[in-house]
Amino acid sequence: MTAEETNSSGFPLLGDQFPELQVETTHGSKTLPEEYEGQWFILFSHPGDFTPVCTTEFISFEQRRQEFEELNAKLIGLSIDRVHSHIKWTEWINDEIGEDIAFPIIADEGGDVAEALGMVHPGQGSSTVRAVFIVDPDGITRLVLYYPKEIGRNIDEVLRSLKALQTHEEEGVALPADWPDNKNFGSKALLSPPGTVDEVKARTAEANEEGYESYDWWFTLKELEG
């Protein structure tokens, strides 16, 4: 990693270039983020193989993998375990639960990758917490989530966040709370507030012309197509 690729905290924050990392996985050696150039990827860590909450998460991620891939996104897991442990664990999941884990898992035996990405929190012990990084096709970190070890992740939220980020990119809009199922505004998107007096006047005229749902010049919603 270089100073240009990260901030002073030592791990990527929102808007930072994801650091270049050489990793060993259950699918062989990979270089991140180069491996997924032109695609989104979701890198998520788990505290350890053969642990119950992590097992439920991996099953859930695999069951939703096709939905991620339909959005041009790949999944990749990580923990501070050896590759042989990852392989044995995924074999157990396949044999006992009937789910074949088809995405790669990083074997971070020395913990270097986890340290570089801020996945080890001293208050949570020496293993990785449940971190999630969503990285865009240009290798930019777009979302970071941290969960404690005792709480399994909500895969719906990870998938929703990916869809919201892609919608922002495609439409230039912001998305309300609970989008696309907001109790008050449904699946509508929010337009960015104007920044000048002239832009305020233009927004008011635009809202009237386009039939946007406008509560005020700074709070305007529009229907998204599709």
Q: What is the distance between the alpha carbons of residues 96 and 22, in angstroms, rounded to a whole number?
A: 32
In the block, tokens 């642990």 appear at 51
Whether residue 94 is predicted with pLDDT greater than 90 in this model: the reply is yes
Express each pLDDT in 10-34 by its tens digit.
689 999 999 999 999 999 999 999 9
First vs last Cα of the chain: how many Å apart? 40
Cα 124 to Cα 46, 115, 148, 221, 222: the distances in Å are 12, 14, 7, 41, 43
Active site residue 54: yes
Percent of the chain with pLDDT over 90: 86
Express each pLDDT in 203-221 by its tens digit.
999 999 999 999 999 999 9
Is 46 buried (19+), middle (13-18) or exposed (0-12) by CB count in 10 A? buried
Q: What value does the mean pLDDT take over residues 154-175?
A: 97
pLDDT at 3: 36
pLDDT at 120: 82
- Candidate list 32, 42, 54, 129, residue with the active-site label: 54
What is residue 40's DSSP assignment?
E
Q: What is the distance between the alpha carbons of residues 21 and 63, in angstroms, rounded to a whole number?
A: 27
pLDDT at 157: 97
**Rounded mean pLDDT of the chain?**
93
Q: Is 125 left (phi over 0), alpha (psi -120 to 50) or beta?
A: left
Whether residue 124 is predicted with pLDDT greater than 70 in this model: the reply is yes
Whether residue 126 is predicted with pLDDT greater than 90 in this model: the reply is no
> In whole angstroms, what separates CA 42 from the centre of its chain?
5
Tell me the backbone φ, ψ of residue 222, rounded to 5 degrees.
-135, 150
Helices (H), 41-129: 52-70, 83-97, 112-116
Q: What is the distance between the alpha carbons of residues 20 and 14, in angstroms, rounded to a whole number?
A: 16
Q: Is 146 left (phi over 0), alpha (psi -120 to 50) or beta?
A: beta
Q: What is the distance between the alpha carbons of residues 33 and 138, in angstroms, rounded to a whole number?
A: 9
Count CB-CB contacts under 10 A for residue 178: 12
Domains and CATH numbers, the chain: 21-153 (3.40.30.10), 172-226 (3.30.1020.10)
pLDDT at 206: 92
- The answer to whether the beta carbons of residues 221 and 206 sit under 8 Å apart is no
Whether residue 80 is predicted with pLDDT greater than 50 in this model: the reply is yes
